[in-house]
Amino acid sequence: MGYNLLKGKKGIIFGALDENSIAWKTAERVHEEGGTFVLTNAPIAMRMGTLNNLAEKTGSEIIPADATSIEDLENLVDKAQEILGGKIDFVLHSIGMSVNVRKGRHYTDQNYAWTEKGWDVSAVSFHKTMQTLYKKDAMNEWGSIVGLTYMAAQRVFPDYNDMADNKAFLESIARSFGYHFGKEKNVRVNTISQSPTPTTAGQGVKGFDGFIAFAEKMSPLGNATADDCANYTVTLFSDLTKRVTMQNLYNDGGFSNTGVSNEVMDAFVRDQE
Ligand code: NAI
């Protein structure tokens, strides 16, 4: 159901790979709420993806951009404004990738060239995106920028590997850039810390099935789905959250504030018997 929360607003959505992607669900919800946008992803992802279907469904154009390339980002921001007919109101950064995770390298045995690639894609790309928007003065006043993160930035989940460090970096960039974007342009910047979600990036983490089942049992409201994340993002893009900024916001069914749940305790006690 739509509430027209984003009527007249224009944006850029990064990171829709397939219909499981959090960015895909977000694009669908933003469209339902009356927002218009361009879709973008890395050129290589578009060759294997099905982004055209989403573009057709939402009446959007696609502009390929590697989010680690300033040249690509400059082209994206210029073209997005041409296509949408003005400055940008909302941006979703929904990008994450660790080469160490992909290639099964343990946290204590990192290949540092891969580590650098991972933080460039997963964290510094957020800075590069915002710096490009900032320098080009491409954001409208009271615009909203959202990045997606995971609680491994605060607490250890051993198999999350160097993505934990990348997420800590991402969250810090959101705070730091949020200050400057707020001061200069009245633009807000937040990260949403999302429950484990069955997507391509999520399922790349070793032991993901255990991860998601544990979180489900720990969270009083159960895991937040990709659709829940899309809904939350819509509120952050809307004018209802104008002075929420520089925050890391948990969309996790209560997981982050739960020490232990009865269900998890029961399973543990059964194990001991
Ligand atoms: P996904 O695999 O559908 O999306 C990741 C996207 O990053 C893909 O579209 C991929 O093409 C894009 N990407 C990778 N390298 C890129 C580059 N150089 N330039 C531009 N785009 C690039 O997976 P998902 O889960 O929807 O991921 C979205 C965000 O949500 C990520 O930041 C992820 O870390 C975060 N997140 C995911 C959780 C999960 O359990 N799935 C939990 C918490 C956060």
Whole-number Cα distances in Å, 271 to 209, 258, 264, 265, 267: 19, 21, 11, 10, 6
DSSP bridge pairs for 193? 149, 250
Compute the chain's Rg from CA coordinates.
18
DSSP 62: E
Residue appearing with tokens 């290949």: 111
Measured CA to CA, the distance from residue 245 to residue 271 in angstroms comes to 44
Q: With a 6 A CB cut-off, is 121 part of the ligand 1 pocket?
A: yes
What pLDDT score was predicted for residue 271? 64
Give the three-state DSSP class for 128. Answer: helix
What pLDDT score was predicted for residue 109? 98
Q: Which atom of ligand 1 is nearest to the CA of 163?
A: 34
Q: With a 6 A CB cut-off, is 132 part of the ligand 1 pocket?
A: no
Q: With a 6 A CB cut-off, is 69 part of the ligand 1 pocket?
A: no
Q: Indicate the residue type of 265.
A: M
Helices (H) and strands (E) in the chain, counts: 12, 7
**Residue whose CA is closest, atom 29 of ligand 1?**
94
Kindly state the tokens that stand for 85.
């007919």
| Distance from Cα 52 to the centre of ligand 1, integer Å | 18
| Distance from Cα 124 to the centre of ligand 1, integer Å | 14
Instruction: Say if CB 34 and CB 6 are below 8 A apart.
Output: yes
pTM exceeds 0.80, yes or no: yes
Residues in the chain predicted with pLDDT less than 70, given as ranges, are: 1, 48-49, 271-273
To test the pocket of ligand 1, the residue of 21, 126, 208, 225 to mutate (highest count of ligand atoms within 8 Å of its CB) is 21
**Residue whose CA is closest, atom 13 of ligand 1?**
95
What pLDDT score was predicted for residue 273? 64
Measured CA to CA, the distance from residue 146 to residue 127 in angstroms comes to 12
Burial readout 99-116 (b: 16 or more C-beta within 10 A, e: otherwise)? bbbeeebebeebeeebbe
- Residue-averaged pLDDT of the chain: 96
To test the pocket of ligand 1, the residue of 17, 117, 149 to mutate (highest count of ligand atoms within 8 Å of its CB) is 17
| Distance from Cα 272 to the centre of ligand 1, integer Å | 38
What pLDDT score was predicted for residue 203? 87
